């Protein structure tokens, strides 16, 4: 029986990953570590895990990884562990500018403690959630993993620091470290602070949405099932011992096009409150995913119109809980 630790497992990507692992890997055991950070409602996170929370192969450990030592973690999880997927992080570019120290603590110290735990326990497979934000402003599209990195927010800097911290532990302690640079993940369960969720919620309710800039900023939106596919492949990847890999969709759309797409699936017109560009935001993200295809067999299938429809269907099904 394989045993995985998923940190941040009650969050958006983590809960989708756990649900998929239980479907695709019969007999797997999963320990979810989450601190239910008040960045958004703990009720939403509890809802994320409600359909497998009572599964006897699932265990929830509530812990703040920035404040939990490797020895303490070993006491909380005494069993053998086959792989760690470290998704836990303080999220958000704009809030990181207001409180950078908290991002250092959660995203760098928290990772440090998990790597020390992996070292202590002899866990050889470590998958880390990095971010496309590490590229900063770079017009060499699509972005390859070898690009020069110039992050422009504290959040992005913590993710770059995480990649390098993983390289250190790979070299010193023989831990296979796979850093996955996520590109704007969306879909059922998406965090309420992210654009697609916020826009859908407000458009459905007939409330204004904030559009930063003139709507020309572009993102490589990646459907969560495709991202999860890449994570699972990384859990089982053994060909090399350190890799940084983009997980995107290799397809960009503008903010204006995104809003039009949400209008189409909701059948309602957006009331737009135009705002100035925000510090820390980049004009465009666009992933080269050739490396992910070669190493992981990664093959994203979901285009934006299909993904928006799936998100909208999920949102309407759970609207009462989501709009509280």
Catalytic residues: 155
Q: Determine the length of the chain.
A: 324
Task: Please give the torsion angle defined by the CA atoms of residues 258, 9, 128 and 157, in that order, rounded to the nearest 10 degrees.
Answer: 60
- Strands of 29-34's sheet, edge to edge? 58-62, 29-34, 3-7, 83-86, 125-131, 176-182, 242-247
Task: Please give the torsion angle defined by the CA atoms of residues 24, 221, 316 and 50, in that order, rounded to the nearest 10 degrees.
Answer: 40
Strands 253-254, 218-219: parallel, antiparallel or unpaired by DSSP?
antiparallel
Gap between the Cα atoms of 137 and 152, Å rounded:
8
Q: Could you tell me the CA-to-CA distances from 192 to 134, 197, 200 in Å, in that order?
A: 23, 5, 10
Tell me: cis bond preceding 142? Omega within 30 of 0 counts.
yes
Closest CA to 31 of 182, 1, 257: 1
Cβ contact 242:182 at 8 Å: no
Closest CA to 118 of 171, 61, 80: 80
Burial of 324 (0-12, 13-18, 19+ CB in 10 A): exposed
Task: Please give the torsion angle defined by the CA atoms of residues 65, 186, 248 and 135, in that order, rounded to the nearest 10 degrees.
Answer: -60
Strands 83-86, 185-186: parallel, antiparallel or unpaired by DSSP?
unpaired
């Amino acid at each position: 029986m394989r045993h995985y630790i998923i940190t941040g497992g009650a969050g958006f990507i983590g809960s989708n990953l756990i649900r998929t692992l239980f479907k695709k890997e019969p007999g797997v055991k999963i320990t979810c570590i989450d601190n239910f950070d008040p960045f958004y409602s703990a009720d939403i996170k509890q809802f994320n895990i409600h359909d497998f929370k009572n599964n006897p192969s699932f265990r929830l450990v509530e812990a703040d990884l920035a404040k939990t030592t490797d020895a303490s973690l070993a006491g909380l999880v005494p069993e053998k562990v086959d792989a760690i997927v470290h998704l836990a992080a303080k999220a958000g570019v704009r809030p990181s500018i207001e409180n950078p120290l908290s991002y250092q603590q959660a995203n760098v110290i928290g990772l440090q403690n998990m790597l020390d735990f992996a070292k202590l326990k002899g866990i050889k497979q470590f998958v880390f959630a990095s971010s496309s934000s590490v590229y900063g402003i770079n017009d060499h599209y699509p972005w390859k993993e070898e690009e020069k990195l110039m992050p422009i927010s504290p959040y992005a800097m913590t993710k770059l620091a995480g990649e390098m911290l993983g390289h250190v532990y790979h070299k010193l302690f023989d831990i296979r470290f796979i850093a996955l640079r996520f590109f704007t993940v969306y879909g059922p369960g998406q965090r309420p602070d992210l654009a697609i969720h916020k826009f859908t919620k407000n458009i459905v309710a007939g409330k204004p949405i904030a559009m930063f800039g003139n709507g020309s900023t572009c993102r490589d939106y990646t459907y969560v099932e495709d991202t999860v596919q890449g994570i699972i492949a990384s859990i089982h990847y053994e060909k090399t011992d350190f890799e940084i890999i983009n997980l995107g969709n290799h397809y960009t759309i503008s903010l204006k096009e995104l809003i039009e797409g949400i209008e189409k699936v909701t059948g309602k017109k957006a009331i737009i409150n135009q705002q100035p560009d925000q510090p820390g935001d980049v004009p465009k993200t666009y992933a080269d995913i050739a490396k992910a295809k070669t190493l992981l067999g990664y093959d994203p299938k979901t285009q934006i119109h299909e993904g928006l429809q799936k998100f909208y269907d999920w949102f309407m099904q759970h609207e009462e809980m989501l709009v509280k």
